[in-house]
Structure 1
Amino acid sequence: MVIPDKTIFIQGVNFLVTIFVLNVLLIKPIREIISKRKGLMDDQMEKIDAFNSNAGKKLEDYESQLAAARKEANEIRSSMKLDATATEQALMSEAGAEAAGTIQAARAEIKTQVKGAMEQLTKDVNKFAEQATGKILGQA
């Protein structure tokens, strides 16, 4: 059995002093370090959250700008296609008119040549007919 005497009080005081010294030298500094580390982690998490939300906003802005650029490109492509179609139609109608004019001029020239050839043939036929008549009648 333990017999209590005055050393037990000394040991109790010694224990309390040791706890107080350990608290001052070890436990408080460790708690402060843990508290600072927790504060740094909280700051880092806030920065990470802010960065993620900022990155999300930038991604949305980028996607909206990309969609707008694609829409504008499609509009430009459509307008250029319409312009090209109109230019093609104008060139085709101009070429058709030019071809029609060339054909008409060629037909007129052919008509003129046929008329000239017919006149020449008529003269030659009349001449040959007179010669043939003269030979038949014995005049030449």
Structure 2
Amino acid sequence: MLQLNMNLLYTIINLVVLYLLLRHFLIKPVTEIMEKRKKLIEDGLLNAQNAQDDAAKMKREYEAALSGAKQESAKILEKAQRQAKEEYEKILQKADEKAADMMESAKESIRVQREQTIHELQSQIAGLALNAAAKIVGEKTENQGNQEIYNQFLEEVGEAFDDPDKK
């Protein structure tokens, strides 16, 4: 059967002591280092996930801000275009009004000048007619009938001279 000898007992004791020493000095520190390493890796993965989530959140905020900025710039551009169009319409309306006023002024000026010209021409014609009538009457003063024609002519010319619209 089995014999127990002292060598075997010493070998078992040595193995137990060796196991305890290895466990205390080698396995325990290595296990602690591995646990710390595992914890460090988990923390790193957790931080990386948090950073990725933060980056995605910032990207969404940036896109929202960019979209808002695009909408705001579109509104500003539309407002500027609308104001420019209104200003264009105002300027065009003022120019039309000014042109209409100028046309009215020009028409009035032409009318006044025409009336003055007509009045001057009537005065000149009346003067010429009087001179012609005076020459004719001067030559034929002996004839009384011509005197009446002369007087009638002077009356008609005088009336036309005093009232230019009575033609």
State the TM-score, normalizing by the size of structure 2: 0.68
Query: Where do residues 1-140 of structure 1 align in structure 2 (5 Å cutoff)?
Result: 6-128=6-128, 131=131
* Counterpart residue identity of residue 109, structure 2: E
The answer for unaligned runs of 5 or more in structure 1 is none
Deviation at 1:104, TM superposition (A): 0.8
Tell me how far apart the structure 2 counterparts of residues 133 and 81 of structure 1 sit (CA, whole Å): 76
Tell me how far apart the structure 1 counterparts of residues 119 and 14 of structure 2 sit (CA, whole Å): 152
Tell me how far apart the structure 1 counterparts of residues 46 and 132 of structure 2 sit (CA, whole Å): 124
| Partner SS, residue 127 of structure 2 | helix
Deviations 1:74-100 (A, max 9, x none): 123213322321232122112211221
Deviations 1:1-25 (A, max 9, x none): xxx9643442343233223201210
* Counterpart residue identity of residue 54, structure 2: N
Among all aligned residue pairs of Structure 1 and Structure 2, give the percentage whose two residues are the same amino acid: 26
Tell me how far apart the structure 2 counterparts of residues 21 and 86 of structure 1 sit (CA, whole Å): 95
Tell me how far apart the structure 1 counterparts of residues 16 and 107 of structure 2 sit (CA, whole Å): 130
Deviations 1:13-68 (A, max 9, x none): 32332232012101111110111121021012101101111120121012112202
* Counterpart residue identity of residue 84, structure 1: A
Which structure has the bigger radius of gyration?
A: 2
**Distance change in 2, residues 1:135/1:19 (3 Å):** farther
The answer for unaligned runs of 5 or more in structure 2 is 140-167
CA RMSD of aligned residues (A): 2.8
Deviations 1:78-126 (A, max 9, x none): 1332232123212211221122111111121122112212221232244
State the TM-score, normalizing by the size of structure 1: 0.79
* Counterpart residue identity of residue 88, structure 2: E
**Distance change in 2, residues 1:10/1:135 (3 Å):** farther
| Partner SS, residue 70 of structure 1 | helix
